[in-house]
Structure 1
Amino acid sequence: MENAFQPINPIALDLGVLQIHWYGVIIGLGALLGLLLAVRESERRGLHKDTFVDLVLFAIPIAILSARAYYVIFEWDYYSQNPEQIPMIWQGGLAIHGGLLGAFITGAVFARIKKISFWKLADIAAPSIILGQAIGRWGNFINQEAHGGPVTREFLEGLYLPEFIVNQMFINGVYYHPTFLYESLWNLAGFAVLMLLRRANFRRGELFLTYIIWYSVGRFFIEGLRTDSLMITETLRTAQVISIVLIVAAVAVLIYRRVKGYSQVRYLEKGE
């Protein structure tokens, strides 16, 4: 199959001694927009305006390291033979579940030190996180990764996708499912849902738990289409297993907190 289209150059700016990759630019943009949203909302919820700025100074570096570590661990057969590639995060290979784990642990420690409710921080951060994920998936698009199995050009055109997406999904002579796009759209829909639910004055912690459930449901089904999944066994995809665990855990925590009376404070209340 022939196609005269040239893939998008993954390098946004080449300064000779320094190359800036679109992957990093896009992930950085997602993080920045998420931070601005969280800062604005945290002030409304009675927190100091610098709370989330202070938090991300720790959370983002730790999330990047944990995301990379998670990916490398599950691809150790490759990286043990190519250790020099472990730091090359601009080529991709940041596992979202690993990044979320690092960020959540950092948030829990931060909340304890600052004597702020972790659940309050998590509720405020939830829309920002899923927005950042929606934007970040476009970094995978630039790198032509995180795609699904082979499809025809007619199939992609039948989705009424812009030409630049159809062409970028032409990789080594084959068209592929744009699973990065499916997940980005799912996350954007989740962002809209969470923004609406903020007004519903949920009990504290439940906005964050809703985010966990929403993201995990979408990730489970979309992951089944991908060809580059991290695997636990030959048949078990890591992200699908983690998604099921997170859905069950989030529902259990939600019920437990209600039964035990730990979630009496409402989202819109400003008390700690």
Structure 2
Amino acid sequence: MDVATVIGLLVGLLSLVIGFLMEGGQLIALLKITAFLIVFGGTFGAVIVSFPGRTLAKTPFILKYAFVKPKERASDTIVRLIELANISRREGLLALEGEQRNFANDSFMSNGIQMVVDGVDSDVIDDILNRDIELYEQKILSIGRIFESAGGYAPTMGIIGTVMGLVHVLGSLEDTAALGPAIAVAFIATLYGVGSANVIYLPIYTKIKNNLASDVMIRQLKTEGILSIQYGESTMILKKKLYAFLTDEESKKVEERLAGHAGSGANAGNAFQEVGQS
């Protein structure tokens, strides 16, 4: 679970409520079932119309994608790629076939290694892997746009709710004593619409895009590593290519890990096991 996402949502919502209470407002004034129904019901209805059922069915998946930290780190992937490069230079490309079991849960990496072992042309591998990255990015964004759309519809639904409330108010102008409270209630719909869009829907969509950017970077890193291994480039050149994806501090940590593996005399299989546990 990405605690930062949960904390951010709670801080945003609580800040609005606490600020309202500090101004002398009452919590009950914010709880209006009619405004809630108009804004959230209208928003969900508009979203349902906008997307096909198969995309809407993946909403739980994309919520998990937003609230769970990416499991794979660039530094771990680089260590794995360098170990694979050392194996291929020492034993040949065919030796990589025996290492595929270490990527049973990573179809992208497994497919890339298989193509290298099968002797597929490097341009073809590059095209296939980059096409895979592009399609993966489109898939995640197509689901994530559910929240982007909700963030666009919600403020409009809030305005509609407010206008509906004001129509009711203007139809009862003879009761001047109740005019002020009735107008206040009407604007609760706008609060629901603008608040939900800017505290819930749009931030979640932004988090989805940020997590996706991390995933895409990892896949691009793997593509660079796989192609470099096929070319038979030296470990030094491979490191220079892959370290470009890291900060200087992260690069130093990877160097320390690689030095530790070399110093301990661990075989490639043990090195992979260490990486998986880190």
Between the two structures, name the one with larger relative contact order (CA 8 Å, sep ≥ 6).
Answer: 2
Does the TM-score normalized on the shorter chain lie above 0.5? no
What's the TM-score once normalised by structure 1's chain length? 0.31
Q: Which has the higher helix share?
A: 2
Computing the radius of gyration from Cα coordinates, the structure with the larger value is: 2
TM-score by length of 2: 0.31
